[in-house]
Structure formats: structure tokens, C-alpha cells
Amino acid sequence: MPHISLPEGLPGISSGFAFRPETAKPMRELAHVLLHGPNTLSPGERELIATYVSSQNDCYFCQSSHGAAAAAHLAQNPAIVELVKHDFLDAPISDKLKALLAIAGQVQQGGKHVTTQAVDAARKQEATDLEIHDTVLIAAAFCMYNRYVDGLATWQPQDRAMYASMGEHLATYGYLTPSLKS
């Protein structure tokens, strides 16, 4: 049961958003710019970063919904999502994305955990300053979203079909409007 009285029937962050539309708006806009806005990193790559951090933070709803969004973007090989969560160094992704995921993992531990070596390694794989910035902010933002979703003890159904449908919606339309009908 959620810690506070959240609207019923809405899973995960959707219930927090419906409870408090004033804070939902900037939180939706932030996710939209970070994951769906114009970027040299593809939406699939950015969703993988979000999924990986959510998995490290052990947030079921966030890793499932963003994992589904990543899979929808990477339709040729949706199995990549599980491989990245399990051991991204072994996953069939670019060396640049591996280097960025290493930075994201450090941010998840804490801002001061990010090392110059990890940033240099990313730059060696031709990551730009903007890509490094966005990786740090995506990882930091999911340390917020994950804590919000679990900190309120939101309802997080184990329902693959629901996450798959959310993922399709997020991959197509982004984050400005609800991905589920209430």
C-alpha cells in the first residue's frame, strides 16, 4: 500500500504525477528533454542509461517502463536491454555507450564518485562534453525519479504487457503526456 493516499489504478510515477500536477509538469518536461529531445545520443541509448541506473537503484517500475521504451527504440534487438542491465561491458553496444554507462554508474553511487579516468575514457571513445553532461544528468535525474516512485511506495504491478504498451507510447510520443489512460 502506498505511504499516502494516491489515485487508485495508476501505477508507479503516474500516481505521483496525478496526485501533484504542479510538480509533475517540470518532471515530465525534464524527462522529455533528456530522453526524447534532439541529441547526438539516440533515444534508445538514453533509455538504456535510464534503465541501467533504475536497475542499479532497484526500482522495478522505472527499470520496467524505461526498459520497455528502450526495447521499443531498439526493435531489431530488444534483448540488449536485459544484457545491459546484467553486464553492460559484455553487451552488444558501442564502446562509447559502455564508457557513458560507467559514468552513469558512478553518478548513481554519488556525484563525487565520478572519476577523471572515466570521463577521459568516454572522451577517448569520442563522447562530447554535451553527451557526458547529459549522461550525468540522466543518471542524477533517475536517482530522483527512482526515489520518488519507491519512496511513496507506489503500486508497481508485475505486468509485462502493461510496460510494453507504456514503452511503445513513450518511445513514440515522449514524456509530456500520460502514457496510460486512467
Options 26, 87, 92, 158; binder of other proteins; rule CB under 8 A = 26
Establish how many alpha carbons lie within 13 A of residue 52's alpha carbon, considering only the half-sphere containing its beta carbon: 33
The overall longest dimension of the chain from CA atoms, in Å, is 49
140-169 positions binding other proteins, by CB under 8 A: 140-141, 143-153
Options 23, 40, 94, 172; binder of other proteins; rule CB under 8 A = 23
33 is a contact residue toward other proteins (CB under 8 A)? yes
Q: Is 125 helix (H, G, I), strand (E, B) or coil?
A: coil
18 is a contact residue toward other proteins (CB under 8 A)? no
Please give the size of the binding site for other proteins, defined by CB under 8 A: 48
Name the residue nearer to other proteins (CB basis): 54 or 74: 54
Task: For residue 41, give the H/E element and its range.
Answer: none
Residue type, 69: A
Options 70, 84, 100, 139; binder of other proteins; rule CB under 8 A = 139
Name the residue nearer to other proteins (CB basis): 77 or 133: 133
- Specify the stretch interacting with other proteins by CB under 8 A; choose among 71-79, 88-96, 106-114, 160-168: 106-114
Options 27, 50, 102, 171; binder of other proteins; rule CB under 8 A = 27
What are residue 59's phi and psi, to 5 degrees?
A: -100, 110
CA distance 24 to 94: 33
Name the CA dihedral angle for 161, 162, 163, 169, rounded to a multiple of 10 degrees. 110
Q: Hey, CA dihedral for 132, 101, 64, 10, is it positive or negative?
A: negative
CA distance 39 to 135: 11
68 is a contact residue toward other proteins (CB under 8 A)? no
Where along the sequence are the contacts to other proteins (CB under 8 A)? 3-5, 16, 19-20, 22-23, 25-27, 29-30, 33-34, 37, 57-59, 106-107, 110-112, 114, 116, 119, 129-130, 132-134, 136-137, 139-141, 143-153
